[in-house]
């Protein structure tokens, strides 16, 4: 892949400059094809979403459709009477926003306590936070289902919207790691000024932790927007469903026939997370990197 | 420890302690209500003939566990789960490490590639699982078309018993984003001086990777592997959307088996037992990891 000609290169290749050039060439030879592979699923999705049905099954597959059939988007969205995508989207949005706020509030409090407050039993409870990070939540659905049915919450959004107000171990851990990096002197100075913990948290920690909080908000957005297991379990009536369940019902109804319409609705469903990711990318990557490792 | 707990403390320390417990209270309530309670409630229920209603439960002892171990499909689902877990951990982690190393090179455009590689992770969900069914289409899918251009006759992917599990592992390799970023941060945390002194000792690239990068990265790698094992058990979405455990039982994993028993066959006592066996397997795997970890994980400043 390099442009280096073998004959003259012996000395050039060993020179610092030459080795660096070869290194860059090899890196790009891997970076670029992998990058193409990673975006390919999206290209397939969007291009199928824009094709007329007869081109969907054409062989060889074309990545760029001959004609762009924008009509697929409204046709898919309103195409199937039983599934009301508009309602599903509003439901998804409502649940997602509530859960972001709930997670941020409850996890900030717990993270501050674990990072900055002294108390007997703290290490014990922090060990539990770490241990519950290893708990496979999907396996807990049976008893949780029973619990929520006892509360009379089935077929409402409550089983999805209430638990986020009670913390999430992974977020508590990440946020605590971040809070530990805030200099002690700032807190001491605030204490001398007579600030209590609530004020220290509100006026020092939260403003200084915007990148970390933004990271968690993005994480929570993605996780809740894509959540499929919970809604599938707790929701029955069409008008309370969320977007992922709608998509699966659509799949159930149209199976392997109306691929162009299915990809059209799938594309619409992905757009919000995509936007969040693109605009929040900077925070996101830094957030995981700074808080994730220093365990 | 007990004596330390009983030691009298100053009023201001007492106040701080009260605030501590006030602040962790929401999490603590959630822990009891949604985690600890369910885990132990489920243990109890796994010894009952629980089907639909919780009234008139009969204690059946180990009957549910006996039924499970006698069920060939359950054994298949355990095998499938372990297959996928091992595949995802081995290939997923190696791949994440490869990506992290690539992103750690000093070449232009890295932030762009980092975003591109992370992209499939954020969209992992029903919508993209649907796209993958189409990508895996043996006759018309882009994957086999590409292979054909390279002169390879592509397999039937998720539509065949032999290929469905490798297909799911392959697909999961597209969402290694978080692991990649964590490993990348780990790589960037390796002190430059170590590489410099290795170079002075005449170490080549491989020797540097083997003797500097890997040991320094091992705690991060360990963390990534532990987390990957847990997340590999929770692959319900793909299974529900793409295979429903099929073809045959070839992608019937434990979480799918649990779901079917609980919410389709309404054998809730059996499902509770499945969940408990899952916990035990997971705890055993984590325990083994920590055991093995002592041999290969290197912590700085630790006497060896």
* pLDDT tens digits for range A210-242: 888 888 888 899 889 988 888 988 988 888 889
d(CA A168, CA A57): 44
Of A134, A163, A222, the CB nearest to B286: A134
Asked if A288 and B182 come within 8 Å (Cβ–Cβ), the reply is: yes
More confident residue, B194 or A166: A166
Q: Express each pLDDT in A170-195 by its tens digit.
A: 889 888 888 888 888 888 888 888 87
Least confident segment among A48-62, B170-184, B199-213: A48-62
Residues of B in contact with A118 (CB under 8 A): 13, 16-17, 20
Nearest one of B180, B165, B186, B206 to B93, comparing CA atoms? B180
pLDDT of residue A198 exceeding 60, the answer is yes
DSSP state of A165: G
Contact A82, A238 (CB under 8 A): yes
Contact A213, A206 (CB under 8 A): yes
Of B116, B126, B145, the CB nearest to A38: B116
Task: Give the contacts of B208 (CB within 8 A, at least 6 positions apart).
Answer: B195, B198, B199
Tell me the two tokens of residue A256: 């392997």
Residues of A in contact with B172 (CB under 8 A): none
Asked if A139 and B134 come within 8 Å (Cβ–Cβ), the reply is: no
Average pLDDT of the residues in A4-18: 60
pLDDT of residue A5 exceeding 80, the answer is no
pLDDT at residue B93, as a whole number: 94
Asked if B230 and A270 come within 8 Å (Cβ–Cβ), the reply is: no
Indicate the domain borders of chain B. 67-296
d(CA A272, CA B130): 17
Residues of B in contact with A254 (CB under 8 A): none
pLDDT at residue B223, as a whole number: 86
Mutating which of B38, B102, B254, B299 best tests the A interface, going by the most A Cβ atoms within 10 A? B38
Q: Name the residue with tokens 């597209």.
A: B174
Please tell me whether residue A22 adopts helix, strand or coil conformation: helix
Residues of A in contact with B271 (CB under 8 A): 142
CA-based nearest distance A213→chain B, Å = 17
Average pLDDT of the residues in A109-136: 89
Q: Which residues pair with B48 in a beta bridge?
A: B59
pLDDT of residue B300 exceeding 70, the answer is no
pLDDT of residue A16 exceeding 80, the answer is no
Asked if B142 and A40 come within 8 Å (Cβ–Cβ), the reply is: yes
Average pLDDT, chain A: 83
More confident residue, A11 or B95: B95
CA-based nearest distance A7→chain B, Å = 24
Report ipTM (2 d.p.).
0.82
Question: DSSP letter string over A178-231?
Answer: HHHTS-HHHHHHHHHTT--HHHHIIIIIHHHTHHHHHHHHHHHHHHHHH--HHH
Contact B171, B241 (CB under 8 A): no
Q: Which residues pair with B59 in a beta bridge?
A: B48
CATH superfamily of A80-292: MetI-like (1.10.3720.10)
Of B31, B102, B135, the CB nearest to A41: B135
Contact A100, A215 (CB under 8 A): no
pLDDT at residue A17, as a whole number: 76
Average pLDDT of the residues in B168-172: 92
Average pLDDT of the residues in A196-206: 86
Asked if B135 and A44 come within 8 Å (Cβ–Cβ), the reply is: yes
Contact B146, A41 (CB under 8 A): no
pLDDT at residue B6, as a whole number: 56
pLDDT at residue B1, as a whole number: 47
pLDDT at residue A163, as a whole number: 92
Residues of A in contact with B185 (CB under 8 A): 288-290, 292-293
Reported residue count of chain B is 304
pLDDT of residue B271 exceeding 80, the answer is yes
Give the confidence band of A48 by pLDDT, cuts at 50, 70, 90.
confident
For B32, phi then psi, to 5°, come to -70, -45
Average pLDDT, chain B: 85
CA dihedral defined by B144, B150, B152, B155, rounded to 10 degrees? -20
Give the confidence band of B138 by pLDDT, cuts at 50, 70, 90.
confident
Q: Roughly how many angstroms between the first and final C-alpha of chain B, as a whole number?
A: 28
Asked if A143 and B120 come within 8 Å (Cβ–Cβ), the reply is: no
pLDDT at residue B52, as a whole number: 67
Asked if B23 and A109 come within 8 Å (Cβ–Cβ), the reply is: yes
Going from the C-alpha of A37 to that of each of A30, A214, B126, B132, B138, the distances in angstroms are 11, 29, 20, 13, 18
Contact A108, A99 (CB under 8 A): no
Nearest one of B228, B76, B40, B284 to A142, comparing CA atoms? B40
What percent of chain B is modeled with pLDDT above 70? Answer: 94
**What residue of A is the nearest CA neighbor of B17?**
A119
CA-based nearest distance B162→chain A, Å = 22
pLDDT of residue B3 exceeding 60, the answer is no
Residues of B in contact with A222 (CB under 8 A): 122
CATH of domain B67-296: 1.10.3720.10
Asked if B27 and A129 come within 8 Å (Cβ–Cβ), the reply is: yes
Give the confidence band of A100 by pLDDT, cuts at 50, 70, 90.
very high
pLDDT of residue B206 exceeding 90, the answer is no
The pTM for the full model equals: 0.85
Residues of B in contact with A30 (CB under 8 A): 98, 102
pLDDT at residue A105, as a whole number: 94
Average pLDDT of the residues in B95-111: 88
pLDDT of residue A251 exceeding 70, the answer is yes
Contact B265, A272 (CB under 8 A): no
CA-based nearest distance A185→chain B, Å = 18
Task: Please give the angle made by the CA atoms of A277, A279 and A281, to the nearest 5 degrees.
Answer: 55
pLDDT of residue B277 exceeding 50, the answer is yes
Mutating which of A138, A177, A274, A279 best tests the B interface, going by the most B Cβ atoms within 10 A? A138
Q: Mark out the alpha helices in B175-246 (DSSP H runs).
A: 177-188, 192-200, 205-208, 214-233, 236-238
Average pLDDT of the residues in A262-267: 86
Average pLDDT of the residues in B180-202: 85
CA-based nearest distance A285→chain B, Å = 7
More confident residue, A80 or B191: B191
pLDDT of residue A3 exceeding 70, the answer is no
pLDDT at residue A254, as a whole number: 66
Indicate the domain borders of chain A. 9-74, 80-292
pLDDT at residue A96, as a whole number: 94
Q: Express each pLDDT in B61-102 by its tens digit.
A: 888 898 888 889 999 999 999 999 999 999 999 999 999 999
Average pLDDT of the residues in A268-278: 87
pLDDT at residue A233, as a whole number: 87
């Amino acid at each position: 892949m390099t442009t280096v000609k073998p004959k003259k290169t012996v000395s050039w290749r060993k020179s610092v400059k030459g080795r660096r050039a070869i290194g860059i060439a090899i890196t790009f030879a891997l970076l670029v094809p992998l990058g193409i592979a990673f975006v390919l699923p999206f290209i397939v999705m969007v291009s199928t979403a824009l094709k007329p049905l007869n081109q969907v099954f054409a062989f060889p597959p074309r990545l760029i459709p001959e004609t762009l059939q924008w009509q697929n988007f409204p046709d898919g969205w309103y195409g199937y009477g039983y599934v009301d995508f508009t309602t599903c989207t509003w439901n998804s949005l409502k649940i997602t926003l509530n859960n972001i706020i709930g997670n941020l509030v409850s996890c900030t409090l717990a993270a501050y306590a674990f990072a900055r407050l002294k108390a007997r039993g703290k290490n014990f409870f922090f060990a539990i936070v770490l241990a519950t990070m290893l708990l496979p939540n999907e396996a807990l659905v049976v008893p949780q289902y029973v619990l929520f049915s006892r509360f009379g919450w089935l077929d409402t959004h409550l089983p999805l919207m209430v638990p986020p107000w009670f913390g999430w171990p992974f977020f508590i851990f990440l946020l605590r790691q971040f809070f530990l990096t805030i200099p002690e002197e700032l807190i001491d100075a605030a204490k001398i000024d007579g600030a209590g913990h609530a004020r220290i948290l509100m006026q020092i920690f939260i403003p200084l932790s915007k990148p970390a909080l933004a990271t968690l908000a993005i994480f929570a957005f993605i996780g809740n927007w894509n959540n499929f297991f919970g809604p599938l379990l707790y929701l029955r009536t069409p008008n309370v469903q969320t977007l992922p369940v709608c998509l699966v019902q659509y799949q159930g109804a149209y199976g392997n026939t109306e691929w162009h319409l299915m990809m059209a609705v799938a594309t619409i469903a992905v757009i919000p997370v995509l936007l969040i990711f693109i605009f929040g990318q900077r925070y996101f990557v830094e957030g995981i990197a700074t808080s994730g490792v220093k365990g | 420890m007990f004596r330390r707990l009983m030691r009298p403390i100053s009023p201001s320390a007492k106040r701080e302690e009260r605030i501590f417990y006030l602040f962790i209270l929401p999490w603590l309530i959630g822990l009891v209500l949604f985690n600890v309670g369910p885990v132990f409630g489920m243990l109890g229920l796994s010894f009952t003939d629980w089907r639909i209603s919780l009234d008139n439960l009969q204690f059946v002892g180990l009957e549910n566990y006996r039924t499970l171990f006698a069920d060939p499909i359950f054994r298949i689902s355990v095998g499938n789960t372990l297959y996928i877990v091992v595949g995802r951990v081995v290939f997923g982690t190696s791949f994440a490490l490869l990506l992290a190393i690539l992103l750690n090179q000093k070449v232009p455009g890295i932030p762009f590639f980092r975003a591109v590689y992370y992209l499939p992770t954020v969209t992992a969900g029903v919508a993209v699982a649907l796209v993958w069914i189409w990508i895996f289409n043996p006759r018309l899918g882009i994957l086999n078309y590409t292979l054909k251009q390279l002169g390879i006759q592509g397999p039937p992917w998720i539509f065949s018993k032999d290929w469905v599990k490798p297909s799911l592992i392959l697909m999961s390799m597209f969402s290694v984003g978080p692991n990649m970023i964590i490993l990348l941060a780990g790589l960037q945390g390796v002190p430059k001086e170590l590489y410099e002194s290795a170079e002075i000792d005449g170490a080549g690239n491989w020797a540097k990777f083997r003797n500097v990068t890997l040991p320094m990265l091992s705690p991060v790698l360990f963390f990534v592997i532990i987390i990957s094992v847990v997340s590999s058990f929770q692959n319900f979405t793909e299974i529900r959307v793409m295979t429903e455990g099929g073809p045959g039982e070839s992608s019937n994993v434990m979480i799918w088996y649990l779901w079917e028993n609980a919410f389709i066959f309404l054998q809730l006592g059996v499902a509770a037992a499945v969940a408990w066996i899952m916990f035990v397997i997971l705890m055993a795997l984590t325990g083994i990891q920590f055991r093995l970890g002592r041999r290969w994980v290197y912590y700085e400043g630790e006497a060896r």
